[in-house]
Chain A
Amino acid sequence: MTSRRATLAALLLASCGNGVHDLSIASMPLVVLRGHVDVASLSRAHPGAPLIAALVWAGVPLVSPICLEESAPGLAQVCPDPYGVFLNVIERAAPVNADGTFELDLFNLPKASVSVGDAVTRIAYGSVVVAEDLNGDGQLDLPAALRGRGGDGGGGGGGGGGGGGIPTAPTPDNLVASTFTSLHAPQLRVVFREGGYLAGSNFYPAPGCAAPPPGFSLWSVPVYSPTQQGGCVASPATATIEVPPLTPADAFALMCRTPQESSYLVFQPRADVKLPPFAQPLCISHNLDAELFTGGQLSVCPFFLPYALKGCATDPYCDPAQWDYTSSPPPWWPCP
């Protein structure tokens, strides 16, 4: 009888089932991306720095119309390749193990800012990149996030403002590998698709390819050609991602291709404009002066600020113009 009572008491006090949760429940990833990089094949400027992997969603390419319309020789060093991938939102970063493997836990869906489409059809493309974490913070630092922070010392070797007064940009992490770099190269894209698929979209087009599956997936896309006839291969997001190495030139170009709304801005050449001494004027025409910044001040990535005697805030070729200084250019105007 005693043992029966004890058993009954134990049954009454026991709980069964899987158990529920309280507010201390942690987040669980929606999907885990697993990747590998051949560490020995990387071109490394800082072999002692730890490697980190990251998923970066690509943004809509924003290229100044001046880069597309003009062919002045000096513009090539400051204009991004419009067929390149423009890295935008860093979703997740994780350390690379000694054997080159890594895992990226994705807890969120891509932001609306990197999902292109309409209310019922959106798609986002991402690149898995590997970089030398120069400041060792475990996060991926790209120039777009560091622009404007010149003179604050940065991390690995940027130096400070010092006593010379010339600001030096903080040093971003050094990209060494990427799966989705340019439409002119084979691509492995991380894809997130919601709703339908717009085959005719010019957002990193893949002509002739069937739609990638809904949700998260990996999409192997061949080199872009307007007459391309498919050739894309979709695979589950759980497949292992092999990240190919980048040449230093390709890595620098990729790092510097970040969509900036300021790419479209055109400035009025007012008399009170004071350009820094390290700006290099490039006269594209009498009407158009591109001030080049290629020396690493303000940003490690070269860029330019266009001034137009006659133009609009985002278009130097507009008609009618929002301003017109052609009859009285400012004293500093360099273009004859």
Chain B
Amino acid sequence: MLCTLAAIAALAAGADAAPAVAAATEAAPRWQLSVAAWSARPAVLPGLALGVTADGVRRAGGPTYLFARLGYAQSSAENVAWIIDHHQLVAALGGGVSASEGVARLFAQAGVGVSGIYEVLSRHQAQRISTAGVPGGTVTDFTVGPYGLLELGLALQLRGGVSALFALGPELTRTEVQGGALLRLGGSARLGVAYDF
């Protein structure tokens, strides 16, 4: 992770200052699309959820902007009876503020939305159970609940409209688990690329 950030910083430092001054005099791009690798505390299970996010940003004027996010992450765990796979889908809307200094842009944003979890419960030896025609080897469930996030991030302009971004912050989910509600506060981190246009 540190080596990757160092390489990105080196690329950014090599960017020509003259084009940066010229870009500043042009109209600032109003849109941004980004994709990022995403790791976070799972909404229900222990361990780590890994996935990807895709954001769309529209600058509202000045330092403020609005964003929309779609994300997917997967986590797994098992006990003596079951293997539990959770596929989490999140959709959020929010806003933020940013400040630029040279090729670096610092941003802080908050959003709310929904988190959907598609669960696959598999017994151990599920394939043997299924092959034998015994029902109940695999069971699926789905639930949707509210989702919120706060993020603090850094974007480094690379070339043209492409920049590298890194962000982290807390997430809050509320999930229906075994008849009760689980409110979970966890951390998340994203590392990706963005394109301004």
A-side residues, CB < 8 A to B, are 12-28, 30-31, 107, 109, 192-195, 213-216
Contacts and interface: CB of A to CB of B under 8 A. Distances in A.
Contact of B141 (A13, A21, A192, A216): A21
9 contacts: A14-B145, A18-B143, A19-B141, A23-B45, A23-B77, A23-B79, A26-B81, A31-B134, A193-B132
A20 B132 contact: no
Interface stretch (B102-110, B123-131, B159-167): B123-131
Given A19-B178, A22-B182, A27-B80, A195 B142 contact: no
B121 A21 contact: yes
B131 A195 contact: yes
Contacts of A23: 45-46, 77-79, 84
Contacts of B128: 109, 194
B176 A12 contact: no
- Chain A facing B: main interface SS: loop
Interface in B18-56: 44-46
A17 B134 contact: no
A44 to B, nearest CB: 36
A20 B119 CA distance: 6
Interface residues of B, number: 39
Contacts, number: 104
A20 B176 contact: yes
Classify the secondary structure of B's interface with A: strand
Given A25-B81, A25-B82, A17 B144 contact: yes
Contacts of B133: 213-215
Contact of A20 (B78, B79, B129, B175): B175
Q: Which 4 A-B pairs have the closest CB atoms?
A: A17-B143, A27-B81, A15-B145, A19-B176
Given A20-B177, A22-B177, A109-B128, A15 B134 contact: no
Contacts of B45: 22-23
A18 B142 CA distance: 6
B191 interface: no
Nearest to A27: B81
A13 B145 CA distance: 7
Contacts of A14: 145-146
Nearest to A107: B81
A12 B81 CA distance: 34
A20 B44 contact: yes
Contact of B179 (A19, A192, A194): A19
Given A15-B174, A20-B175, A30 B129 contact: yes
Interface string B64-84: 000000000000011111101
B91 to A, nearest CB: 13
A19 B177 contact: yes
B146 A194 contact: no
Contacts of B123: 30
A186 B68 CA distance: 71
A25 B134 contact: no
A229 to B, nearest CB: 28
Contacts of A12: 112, 146
A22 B78 CA distance: 9
B81 A21 contact: no
Nearest to B112: A12
Given A15-B145, A20-B177, A30-B134, A109 B84 contact: no
Nearest to A106: B134
Interface in B166-184: 174-179, 181-182
B158 interface: no
A148 B18 CA distance: 91
B81 A20 contact: no
B129 A22 contact: no
A24 B79 CA distance: 8
A214 B176 CA distance: 36
Contacts of B116: 17
B99 to A, nearest CB: 30
A21 B132 contact: no
